[in-house]
Each structure stands twice: as structure tokens, then as C-alpha cells.
Structure 1
């Protein structure tokens, strides 16, 4: 529910850019099949219900979900436009799910799991930025802020992370 609320919030903010994107134009808000008012009400209900259920489950879980909403809001509003920080925040979203599961179940996460999950999330984040950058160059699509990345930087980071991921498996 929390992730759905965050995605709806982001889609509301990005709807004007998404209309012109070859894939994102089919999303309900960009396509106009879900109006802004309904999407906004749904987003608020999901946020309130998520926080309420999180509070009932566990105080630490509630704080994680609350922090997730705050960071996701800041990300959607302006942090996603800052290169490298945007991917680091995406990594934190992946890890927050891992930590939330740990808090609710009481299962202690190993350092190895956190390390590998961080590396995989970094890898996926930079691969996504590389793909977005290619779209900017080849199809005049993609997010304009992705142009702040250079292909050489993205390739270097991706090729540096990949062997570390492979080497981290026993």
C-alpha cells in the first residue's frame, strides 16, 4: 500500500512529461483514464491506511513507513533530479522494504544480505539510468534530468559493480 501511494504521487507529479513518453503514456494518470482528483484521493487514503496499519503492527515499522513517505515525497518533488543521489535514494527504497520485513517478522538481517541487496539495487538503478540516457539520445524520450549523466560514467559504475556482485556470492 505504501509503495502504491508513492507511485501514484509520483505519477501525479510526472503526468505532463509521461504523456509524451513512449511507455509511460499508457499509465492511467498520463493516459487520462484515472483523473487527478480520484488519484489524489486514492493516494491520501493509501497513505493514511498504510500508516494506521503500520502503527498497529509495530512502532519501528510505523517509523520506517513514515520515513519512506517523507523520502519518497522529497524524491518525487526534487531529489530525483540530482545525479547519483537519485540512485542512492532508489537503493534506500529497496533496502527499506528489506528492513520493514525484518522489523515486522523479527528476523535479523545478515550483513551479507544488506550488502548484496545494496549492490544489486545500485546496479539496477544505474542500468536504468543508462537505459533512460540511451532513450534520450536515440528517441528523444526519457527524463530530461538523466542527461546530467554521461555514458562513460554510467558504464564505468555498472562495470565496477557487476564483478563485485558476482564475487559477493559464496
Structure 2
């Protein structure tokens, strides 16, 4: 039963919530315990809240999921977990997430997390069937993660980084929709029938280009260089690494993948290695060479 519950909670998707730490990492103060603790509490709250969202969505779409080639294997759709048990677990997770928010002592971060929950519940209840709005809500989830972490740690984030995250999130969301449409011909998600494949294809790469441009502008921004000092001059050389990461990701998405970002990354070892190289370079620049 525990195995099925962890699968239903989408624990492997918690990797998305590490975006909560992005502002803290980029500030060069990741090892500051006073800032790390509230961000970690918000991270835990986000993990449990995202599980609530997944479970509510699966309860709402249980009949549709049973007709989906892969979603039919989800515990609720497959009958491995009862709806009543799933609701009970959602209540428990909500209580734990609330306790974490209170312990973080960040009212604004707690409010933003609650906003994330409300937006995604509304998404599950019907907004996911409205084109453009559906992907916008998915993008808001990534943005709220970044903002929550920044607010909890009391850190100001560069506008260039905000724009980078927004653009990259649109790329991921549109790519997921594109591959869902190609694999199922729109038979499992009604909104897919409203999206022309060419629209999704063109715009996902438009947002990818914007993401790389915004990131490059952040890396050479005088404010960034002034903040990080001499080490900031090396940030521009992380742009080619980001290009390689997105190229590899696009290569996977153009293949037989369903476009789910987590599934794409965890099943591609070269892509994971590129992400590790990027993380090591950023750590070196922001924590070792920072003056």
C-alpha cells in the first residue's frame, strides 16, 4: 500500500520543488542556516502541497485516466488506492504543509503557497480545458516556487532570472502539450483538440530562445557582475552549457517521450550529467571563486 501511495503522491516529481532553493543558491548564501531553514520548510510544504494537487487531479479524472494508455496505471485509476483513502491523505498532507508554513514564519511565502494550491485546484476542476490558460497555470507553478523561496529567505531576485524561469517553464509546458497531442491525438485531454500542433511546436521553441537570451542577459548584467565580483565574469560561459542541456532535452522531446520534464530528465543519463556539470560550474563560480 505504501508503494502505491508514494507513487500516487508523485514523489519523484518533488525534484521540481528544488526551484524553491534557486534564489538562495544564486545569492551565494546557501549555507546560511538562518536563511536555509525557512526555505527548507517551504520546500517541504511545497512537496506535500504538490502531492495534494496531483491526488485531487487524479480523483477528478479517474474515469478519463482509465482510458489513457499510461495514466491508467496510476494507483487511483488502477484501483490500488481508494478515493476515500486518497482524500484522507490529502487532509493529512495539508495539515503538515500548514505546520511547515507556520514554522517558516514567512506570511507572504505561506500566502503564495496557498495561491499555488488554489490555482492548481481550479486547474483540476476545469481551467485545464481552457487553451493558453492551462499552460499559464502550469508556468505559474514554477514562478511561485521561485518567488516563495526568495521571499522566505528575504532575497531579491534579478528580473532577468524571473523572465528566464517564466520562458523556460512555457517551453516545458508547451512541449508537454505538444507530445501529448502527438501520442494520443487529443483523445485523452479535451484541451489538446483546441491546440494546432504547429502552434505548440513553434511557440515552445520561441520560449526556449527567449529563456536562453534572458539567461545570457542575466549573466552579463552589470548588477550581476557587481554582486558576484570577479567570479561573475565566468557566468557567461555557463550559457553554452545551458544551450547543450536544452538541446539534449529537445532531442528527447522530439523522440518518443511524452514530454513530461521529470520523466525526460531521469531517463536520460547524458542529460543528467550535463545538469551536474552545470551545477558544479555554478557552485564553483558562486561559492569558491566568489570574492
Instruction: Flag whether TM exceeds 0.5 (same fold).
Output: yes
Determine if the alignment matches structure 1 residue 13 to structure 2 residue 67: no
Partner in structure 1 of residue 214 of structure 2: 168
Cα deviation, 1:17-51, whole Å, max 9, x if unaligned, reads 11111111111111111110100010122122212
Q: 2:22: which partner in 1? A: none
Aligned twin of 2:241? none
How many Å separate the matches in 2 of 1:3 and 1:48? Answer: 13
Q: Which residue of 1 aligns with 2:80?
A: 33
Asked whether the equivalents of residues 83 and 148 of structure 1 are also in contact (C-alpha less than 8 Å), the reply is: yes
The residue aligned with 1:156 is 202
Whichever of the two has the greater Rg, that structure is 2
* Unmatched 5+ stretches in structure 2: 1-47, 217-291
Q: CA deviation at 1:162?
A: 2.5
Tell me the TM-score normalised to structure 1 length. Answer: 0.92
Distance in 1 between the 2:73 and 2:187 partners? 15
1:91 matches 2:139 = yes
Indicate whether 1:104 and 2:152 are aligned. Answer: yes
Quick check: 1:144 aligned with 2:183? Answer: no
Cα distance in 2, alignment partners of residues 168 and 67 from structure 1: 26
The answer to whether the 8 Å contact 2:161/2:214 transfers is: no
Cα distance in 1 between the residues matched to 2:92 and 2:116: 16
Asked whether 1:47 is paired with 2:94, we answer yes
Aligned equivalents of 1:26 and 1:49: distance in 2? 28
Does residue 119 (structure 1) correspond to residue 175 (structure 2)? The answer is: no
> Residue 127 of structure 2 corresponds to which residue in structure 1?
79
Unmatched tracts of structure 1, length 5 or more: none
